[in-house]
Amino acid sequence: GAVVSQHPSWVICKSGTSVKIECRSLDFQATTMFWYRQFPKQSLMLMATSNEGSKATYEQGVEKDKFLINHASLTLSTLTVTSAHPEDSSFYICSASGGANEQFFGPGTRLTVL
Amino acid sequence: DAKTTQPPSMDCAEGRAANLPCNHSTISGNEYVYWYRQIHSQGPQYIIHGLKNNETNEMASLIITEDRKSSTLILPHATLRDTAVYYCIVRVQIFTNAGKSTFGDGTTLTVKP
């Protein structure tokens, strides 16, 4: 299957700082990317859907001003957690789709906010 | 997306077939059945998908009932490395934001020696 990468794989930051997570499709063009969050022992929760060149669509309850998503190219989407707090500590996973039936997931980014 | 129901956990002996059921009784005619698995602290891995017909690939087989209200993922010869959480998802094609995958709680499969 196609490869999706995320960077960094893990990050530790201080409360109040912003953190940017990158999601790249390495061998295909991703017209749609999804961002998920997963807390320990829970399932993945969809945060937002982004289409290249368009504003992201956020799920209910997800603050768009706190979780900034940019999908500026067909191979890159970024998620910026602004003014991070300990409750934002989680496993963030992106996925990318280049076609109707495809959805490939990245390896995830572990965020710890102190 | 249609809601899916899976048993929370299952055990399987190494080398035996693992049969993981999924109920999706409210599935719509244009919704596909997808299976993913997630090994601890990794991103989900695509396994297989289907619409109406049974499907097979190098990883698994997918059996969808004729009324499409349930399906079974079959790992023919389970290994210890197949221990993971298995998610069954139904969704339309990803053309718009409607084609998003909503994850339920999945089934934790434990393969035992």
Q: How many CB atoms lie within 10 A of CB A104?
A: 22
- Average pLDDT on A1-5 reads 86
d(CA B12, CA B83) in angstroms, rounded, equals 9
Residues B92-106: pLDDT tens digits?
Answer: 876 655 568 889 899
Residue A98: CB partners within 8 Å, gap ≥ 6? A2, A25, A28, A29, A30, A31
The residue of chain A with its CA nearest to that of B40 is A41
d(CA B34, CA B52) in angstroms, rounded, equals 12
Model confidence at A100, in pLDDT bands (50, 70, 90)? Answer: low
B68 phi-psi bin (left φ>0, alpha ψ -120 to 50, beta other): left
What is residue B26's predicted lDDT score, i.e. its pLDDT? 92
- Average pLDDT on A80-98 reads 95
Nearest-CA distance from A85 to chain B in Å? 21
What is residue A1's predicted lDDT score, i.e. its pLDDT? 64
Decide if B103 and A103 are in contact by the 8 Å CB cutoff. Answer: no
Q: In A, residues 73-92, which contact B (CB 8 Å cutoff)?
A: 91
Model confidence at A103, in pLDDT bands (50, 70, 90)? Answer: confident
Decide if A97 and B94 are in contact by the 8 Å CB cutoff. Answer: yes
- Residues of B near A (CB-CB distance < 8 A)? 32, 34, 36, 38, 41-46, 49, 87, 93-95, 97, 99-106
Tokens of A37: 């969050």
Residues A13-27: pLDDT tens digits?
Answer: 999 999 999 999 998
- From B77, B67, B47, B50, select the one nearest B59 (Cα to Cα): B47
Which helix (H) or strand (E) element contains residue B69?
A: none
- Average pLDDT on B2-20 reads 94
